[in-house]
Amino acid sequence: MSYLFTSESVSEGHPDKVADQISDNLIDHFLAFDKNSKVACETMVTTGLVVLAGEVNSNIYLDVQKIARDTIEKIGYTKSEYQFDAKSCGVISAIHEQSEDINRGVDKENPEDQGAGDQGMMFGYATNETEDYMPLALDLSHRLLMELAELRREEKEITYLRPDAKAQVTIEYSDDNKPQRIDAIVLSTQHDEFDADEKVMLEKIKNDVREILIPRLIKKLNNPMVEELFKGDITYHINPTGKFVIGGPHGDSGLTGRKIIVDTYGGKGAHGGGAFSGKDPSKVDRSGAYATRHIAKNLVAAGLCEEVLVQVSYAIGVAEPMGLYVNTYGTAKVDMTDGDIAREISKMFDMRPAAIEERLKLRNPIYGPAAAYGHMGRKPETRKVTFKNGGREESMEVEFFTWEKLDFVDQIKSKFGL
């Protein structure tokens, strides 16, 4: 029997994602001016208001109000009718110094002995069903919203779009776990007021999604296999509740860290429960999750398996992980148990927090772009960035999404005789 699997994504203008992006842009500014900053910052957004809270240990003082407003403006909340806009919203900061009781477990005399910033378990997942080794339903959900945001910014083909949106894709799989067709697409987008009645408005939005957004997405994907999936009898639910003018932080309050499944694998694999945004890389919720994704993606890309879940776990203040777990879901191409594979992998990848930071270059200001449309499955790239704070300016060239690099494929092939 075939089965259905669904994943969702949310746009950069979704209130929870507004909060994530503000928190991660604060992280980037702290790291740009002080690479050794220890930061855990949360953001709450609601009608006309941003509240910042958290703990910081850094030698730089930031203009957090400006960073928050610049982030909101970039997202697209720039009009007073949104009831939340970059220029007029209030910004309250309750950020204070980090607890010494926490910091003492992280900083050590020998930097290599840096302890984990917290206890917990983190998971990385990869599958060969897409080119970026991500679950197809989540990949398409992200791409639908990225294309919708591009249409919004162009203001040419669809001119009524506002920043808040959600997408959901349901894929039908065969018994051997291969995507067969797209069963359903749900898309809700915030929009301007229409002069027409609600029925006409809704029909206009439905037609634009199906006749403009979907064809643009298919063309950009440039993937015949995925294009075939769109040719079936798809059920569309476009703005199923009807009118969606009130949205963003005015429609719902937003909090950092409330979209952890959107940020990772759309419900595939597993999740340890820890959010990423607002945390410097000494927090293993973030660095451990990136490191396990890096392992998982390289394992699948090397051909060791078709699908894999990797888990790592830590004790607060302790450098060495509690253990490494691997589950290939019976798809391994080598004559080894998953436990044997895990033991070999643990010899190849140093999973101490300091080693992860070094290997993946996580002490750079690279987190803002990851805070919307998923932290995983993104394209690694190097580019120059500039950060300003008061009269200071820092420019540097940094690598983004290093955990997506396929730089261990050859080593894995050699190790396992692939």
Annotated binding site for K(+): 42
Query: What is the enclosing helix (H) or strand (E) of 262?
Result: helix 260-263
Q: Which of 351, 306, 357 is nearest to 324 (CA)?
A: 351
pLDDT, tens only, 311-364: 999 998 888 899 999 999 999 999 999 999 999 999 999 999 999 999 999 999
Annotated binding site for L-methionine: 55, 98, 252, 283
Whole-number Å distance between alpha carbons of 307 and 5: 16
Whole-number Å distance between alpha carbons of 370 and 398: 14
Take residue 297 and report the two structure tokens written for it. Answer: 């993606």
Give residue 393's pLDDT: 92
Q: What is the CATH number of domain 120-127+258-416?
A: 3.30.300.10
* Strand residues in 277-365 grouped as ranges (E): 307-314, 323-327
pLDDT, tens only, 286-298: 999 999 999 999 9
What 3-state DSSP class applies to 127?
A: strand
* Percent with pLDDT over 90 in the chain: 88
Locate all alpha helices (DSSP H) within 111-155, ordered by sequence.
136-154
What residues form DSSP beta bridges with 326? 310
What 3-state DSSP class applies to 181?
A: strand
Instruction: Match 């694998």 to its residue by tokens.
Output: 265
15-99 and 120-127+258-416, same CATH topology: yes
What residues form DSSP beta bridges with 116? 316
In the predicted structure, residue 111 carries a pLDDT above the cut 60: yes
The pTM (predicted TM-score) of the whole model is 0.94
Annotated binding site for ATP: 14, 164-166, 243-244, 252, 258-259, 275, 279
What residues form DSSP beta bridges with 41? 54
DSSP H helix total and E strand total for the chain: 13, 13
Q: Which of 165, 185, 155 is nearest to 247 (CA)?
A: 165
Instruction: Match 């509690």 to its residue by tokens.
Output: 322
Extents of the domains making up the chain? 3-10+136-248, 15-99, 120-127+258-416
In the predicted structure, residue 104 carries a pLDDT above the cut 70: no
Annotated binding site: 14, 16, 42, 55, 98, 164-166, 243-244, 252, 258-259, 275, 279, 283
- The size of the chain, in residues, is 418
Annotated binding site for Mg(2+): 16
pLDDT bracket for residue 118 (50, 70, 90): confident
Q: Which CATH architecture has domain 15-99?
A: 2-Layer Sandwich (3.30)
Q: Which CATH architecture has domain 3-10+136-248?
A: 2-Layer Sandwich (3.30)
Pairing of strands 307-314, 323-327: antiparallel
* 257 torsion bin: left (phi>0), alpha (psi -120 to 50), beta (else): left
Take residue 131 and report the two structure tokens written for it. Answer: 């080119």
In the predicted structure, residue 107 carries a pLDDT above the cut 70: no
